[in-house]
């Protein structure tokens, strides 16, 4: 029972934006409010997650209600699940399934600055997706070349990548992003600085589906990166967890 476990550290949370959805205190409450599948809840339990962290209890409802989000929360506070759970909850049937009603091709995209981080996100994603038939692709040289086959890439549901790999695949015509409904930039302070910005912008521009949901997550967001983030987001909510609301 959750009551027997030591709580995750409590953090101070501040929010800014229009009509901020109410936060949740438990995964059960999330399930009741948004009709999450039992499977998703079971997979959370099996990951050993008993209750949402601060960024999860505020960030997940915001994303579940299709809002854009800038989330700033210290390292180790569970930012990954904050975006993976809403993405999983809204992914629908696998693109490969005959009754897939969501259209073909990639419907969610997670960008991270390093292969190592993309790899960690992929692992967490696979745990959460246990028992589902989604094709979750960690972009690498090898996977990128298999996607040259349109029949293969039309069956992919979710892509996790570094910006450079994805831009290369876009330019080669090996990936279409026109059905992407959710874009997440993890470690957004790095994604929006000069090293990656133009690549990120190229990827975002290729996501032509109307009203794509965008979210940025970071431990810190310097003023310059924050300004760029806010210009990319629509009617965003900003959530800050921790010590200082800069
Ligand atoms: P961040 O991206 O904010 O640095 P991570 O998403 O990498 O944090 O999560 C840090 C660690 O906390 C991971 O080992 C993850 O499995 C764990 N974790 C995430 N959410 C929870 C939760 N609700 N309860 C317990 N552990 C969690
Ligand atoms: Mg992280």
Per-residue pLDDT reduced to its tens digit, 48-106: 999 999 999 999 999 999 999 999 999 999 999 999 999 999 998 888 875 555 557 89
Q: What is the dihedral of CA 215, 42, 117, 202, to 10 degrees?
A: -30
Tell me, in angstroms, the distance from the centre of ligand 1 to residue 75's CA: 9
| E-strand stretches of 80-200 | 108-111, 136-138, 158-161, 182-185
Distance of CA 99 from the midpoint of ligand 2 (Å) = 34
pLDDT at 141: 83
CB 45 within 8 A of CB 138: no
Give the Å distances, CA to CA, from 139 to 26, 122, 172: 33, 10, 14
- No. of helices (H) and no. of strands (E), the chain: 11, 8
105 touches ligand 1 (CB under 6 Å): no
Q: Which ligand is nearest to the CA of 186?
A: 2
Query: Which of 78, 116, 121, 184, when mutated, tests ligand 1's pocket best, judged by the most ligand atoms within 8 Å of its CB?
Result: 78
Reply yes or no on whether the pLDDT at 226 is more than 70. Answer: yes
For the stretch 23-62, pLDDT in tens is 999 999 999 999 999 999 999 999 999 999 999 999 999 9
Nearest to 70 by CA among 243, 210, 225, 208: 225
The answer to ipTM > 0.95 is yes
Whether 237 shows a pLDDT value over 60: the answer reads yes
Q: What is the DSSP string of 202-224?
A: HHHHH--STT-EEEEEES---HH
Q: How far is the CA of 77 from the centre of ligand 1 (A)?
A: 5
The verdict on the CB of residue 27 being under 6 Å from ligand 1 is no
């Amino acid at each position: 029972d959750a009551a027997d476990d030591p709580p995750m550290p409590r953090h101070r949370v501040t929010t800014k934006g229009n009509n901020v959805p109410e936060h949740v205190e438990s995964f059960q409450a999330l399930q009741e409010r948004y009709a999450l599948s039992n499977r998703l809840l079971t997979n959370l339990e099996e990951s050993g997650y008993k209750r949402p962290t601060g960024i999860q209890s505020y960030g997940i409802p915001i994303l579940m209600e299709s809002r854009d989000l800038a989330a700033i929360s210290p390292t180790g506070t569970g930012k990954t699940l904050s975006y993976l759970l809403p993405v999983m909850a809204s992914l629908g049937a696998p693109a490969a399934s005959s009754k897939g009603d969501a259209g073909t091709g990639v419907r969610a995209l997670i960008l991270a600055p390093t292969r190592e981080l993309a790899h960690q996100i992929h692992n967490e994603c696979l745990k959460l997706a246990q028992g589902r038939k989604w094709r979750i692709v960690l972009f690498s040289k090898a996977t990128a070349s298999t996607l040259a086959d349109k029949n293969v890439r039309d069956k992919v549901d979710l892509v996790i990548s570094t910006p450079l790999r994805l831009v290369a695949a876009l330019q080669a015509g090996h990936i279409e992003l026109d059905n992407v409904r959710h874009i997440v930039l993890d470690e957004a302070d790095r994604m929006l600085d000069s090293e990656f910005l133009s690549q990120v912008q190229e990827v975002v521009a290729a996501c032509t589906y109307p009203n794509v949901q965008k979210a940025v997550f970071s431990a810190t967001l310097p003023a310059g990166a924050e300004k760029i983030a806010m210009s990319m987001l629509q009617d965003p909510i900003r959530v800050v967890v921790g010590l200082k609301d800069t």
